[in-house]
Amino acid sequence: MKNKIGNVKEDRHYAAIDLFCGVGAITHGLIKSGIPVIAGIDSDGTCKYAYEKNNKSTFIKEDVRKITGDFLKKLYPKGCTKILVGCAPCQPFSKHTQKNKKRSEDEKWGLLYSFSRLVEEAEPDIISMENVPQIQKQKVFADFVNKLKKLKYQIFYETVYCPDYGIPQSRRRLVLLASKLGEIKLLPKTHKKSNYRTVRDTIYKIESIKSGGKSKNDPLHRASNLSPLNKIRINKSTPGGTWLDWDEELRSPCHRKETGATYTTVYSRMEWDKPSPTITTQFYIFGTGRFGHPEQDRALSLREGALLQTFPKYYKFIDPKSEISSQRLGIHIGNAVPVKLGTVIGKSVIKHLLDKCPNIKYK
């Protein structure tokens, strides 16, 4: 017998719901670890196709601030160990917005409070929350942790350097785990600097394309078109270098000013034998970061960005009947948690369940 929502059978002893699910990166990672996911909830309806197509879980288009704990409780199979995961949008806490005095006015600022409210109302047994490390300096995070303590959760959190877990991207993320069943921790690191996954490991064998070009075999392997000036700039760029290596006349006017001289992580190429920089929502644009291909004169393609986010190559992001929007897919891919980090979180939860509840059946 199946539950009314998702693909989770009524006799499952544990199941998850994914808040702020996006196109399903965390959900897919959890499923790969062995944790069934009942549903993902997100206010962006454009994520529905990719979420459901790849995960066979139900996408619920809803604002997390408007749902209740009772609504979540009804989604879980009766009597199961309830797992609630979520990555509230992190833009208000990121380095890019830290200097913005109006940051506290961002409507996303309070989403972690909504997460906290749902934890109190739905009473999940295990929680996972992931965000940018900078959130630890904010009152909203302290309030979240204090709420969990009052609700008798045992809490673990730390900043994770993604290459330490085989993710080919130098992204740092805060991972929090909390449980009512006892002490819970993230699994030990799996990689060292000597065997970090790199850009070469991830995209070296991908078909060569030109600026503005696309693959005939993979609609997602397409590169944005460069202006004539940017074609000259990238041709003069070396992996790991900066625009400081260019002739003066090639530099942007803002970079010629003293105030712009320190912004050297834009207009540059990735290096083959290192993890990539953090993939952002504009990774497909040469000028927004170190997103130049290591040797081809173009920015990363949408497919390459997805692979560096550890989405499997089979992951389907768009309905074949729909037009491809680089901007929309850039947001979907760049906003995602690396799928492999979701798997690490899932495996950590399963180890915890095996330790604390050895009678649980893992099917």
**Residue 257 confidence (pLDDT) above 80:** no
Please tell me the chain's helix, strand, coil percentages from 3-state DSSP, rounded to the nearest 5. 40, 15, 45
pLDDT in tens, 279-322: 999 999 988 888 999 999 999 999 999 999 999 999 999 999 99
The pLDDT value recorded for residue 3 is 40
The answer to pTM > 0.85 is yes
Is-contact 335 74, C-beta < 8 A?
no
- pLDDT band, residue 184 (cuts 50/70/90): very high
- Residue 40 CB contacts under 8 Å (≥ 6 apart), including other chains: 17, 18, 19, 21, 22, 24, 27, 51, 55, 57, 58, 59, 60
CATH number of 14-194+338-356: 3.40.50.150
**Residue 117 confidence (pLDDT) above 50:** yes
What whole-number distance in Å separates Cα of residue 58 and Cα of residue 7?
Answer: 8
What whole-number distance in Å separates Cα of residue 98 and Cα of residue 109?
Answer: 12
**Residue 8 confidence (pLDDT) above 80:** no
Q: In what order do the strands lie in the sheet with 58-61?
A: 58-61, 37-42, 14-19, 81-86, 126-131, 172-179, 154-161
The residue-averaged pLDDT of 121-149 equals 95
What are the catalytic residues?
90
- Residue 256 CB contacts under 8 Å (≥ 6 apart), including other chains: 248
